[in-house]
Structure 1
Amino acid sequence: MSDYYFGTDLFAELDRLQRHMSSRFGAFPSSIRSSRLGAFPSLNIGVTDDAIEIVAFAPGIDPSKLELSIDKGLLTIAGERPSARAASDEGARAYAQERFNGTFRRVVELPQHADPDNVQARYIDGCLLITVGKREASKPRAITVQ
């Protein structure tokens, strides 16, 4: 028999321990391109032959309040997500809150072949879709053998 007794199930205790360690030491990314746990907005980044495709999941944000910029190969996405609580609920206290609100800023390092002069962004159904074109010299091309 073990000397340790957990009042709840073991998996709940391990989850609590992981959250406690993350809050004390910060979450360590699994790779260079990873970011901290719970970063907002969540991102998907992909590549095609012609462009780098970035999808930022940002529901509930007014697209006119989003700020996008590219400087020295870094794409910055910034803005503010308002609280979901109605103004009439001023006296209410949160019991649990999982939805992020407040200001945010995400920075994505773009590959060297990204063309900062060829960027398009659109906001559809809570997703910010950013397309960064590639420089012509870096696009694949067929070479004819003579």
Structure 2
Amino acid sequence: MYRSLFPRDLFAEMDRLQREMQQALDLSPSIRGLGRGGFPALNIGGTPQAVEIYAFAPGLDPKTLDIQLDRGLLSIAGERPSALPSSESGSAVHINERFTGKFRRMLTLPDDADPEAISADYRDGVVHITVQRRASAQPRRINVQ
């Protein structure tokens, strides 16, 4: 009803602004509430035994990745070099949609994550990080006698 009074879709613009502000202020997402739009893109899931994190970072040298865990805060950092010719060579770039430069993604792990049992593997442009859960947090069957 009121949307026809505005030259542009004001409500869509307000929604976009709210999403951008939320992303800008969301510095330390948890595994349940990740901000979108960062690099590398993340998929996170879990089992009763481990938290599985997949970071999609094609074109990186795995030796340049810096993955750290400090007091429940996991950070994935590195730098992706540009594959485009430099502007000094006289060539022009018309479209550049691929992210290049330094990056850092951080997320808070659950309280039952074991900082001593973490592993990372890089294959086909995907970093797979496995964080085991503490044995004390594992479900157990209690026998009744």
Residue 121 of structure 2 is aligned to residue 122 of structure 1:
yes
After TM superposition, the score normalised by the length of structure 2 is: 0.78
Give the secondary structure class of the aligned counterpart of 1:28: helix
Give the secondary structure class of the aligned counterpart of 1:103: strand
Give unmatched runs, 5+ long, in structure 1. Answer: none
After TM superposition, the score normalised by the length of structure 1 is: 0.78
In the TM superposition, what is the alpha-carbon distance from 1:90 to its structure 2 partner?
3.5
Counterpart pick for 1:26 among 16, 20, 29 = 20
Distance 1:88 1:28, change over 3 A: closer
In the TM superposition, what is the alpha-carbon distance from 1:89 to its structure 2 partner?
7.5
| Runs of 4+ more than 6 Å apart | 2-6
In the TM superposition, what is the alpha-carbon distance from 1:141 to its structure 2 partner?
1.0
Matched with 2:79 is 80
Amino acid at match of 1:34: L
Instruction: Report the count of equivalent residues.
Output: 136
Kindly provide the CA deviation profile for residues 80-122 of structure 1, in whole angstroms up to 9, marking residues without a partner as x: 0111214597323332221100000000100000001100000
Comparing 88-97 and 68-77, the one that deviates more: 88-97
| Percent identity of equivalent pairs | 44
Distance 1:60 1:145, change over 3 A: same
Matched with 2:41 is 42
> RMSD across aligned C-alpha pairs, in angstroms?
3.1
Distance 1:137 1:96, change over 3 A: same
- Distance (Å, rounded) in 1 between the aligned partners of 2:5 and 2:70: 57
Give the secondary structure class of the aligned counterpart of 2:22: coil
- Distance (Å, rounded) in 1 between the aligned partners of 2:93 and 2:114: 45
RCO higher in 1 or 2 (8 Å CA, sep ≥ 6)? 2
Residue 98 of structure 2 is aligned to residue 105 of structure 1:
no
Matched with 1:53 is 52
Give unmatched runs, 5+ long, in structure 2. Answer: none
Distance 1:117 1:3, change over 3 A: closer
Kindly provide the CA deviation profile for residues 3-54 of structure 1, in whole angstroms up to 9, marking residues without a partner as x: 8889xxx9xxx99x58x847xx83425986222x420000001001211000
Give the secondary structure class of the aligned counterpart of 2:139: coil
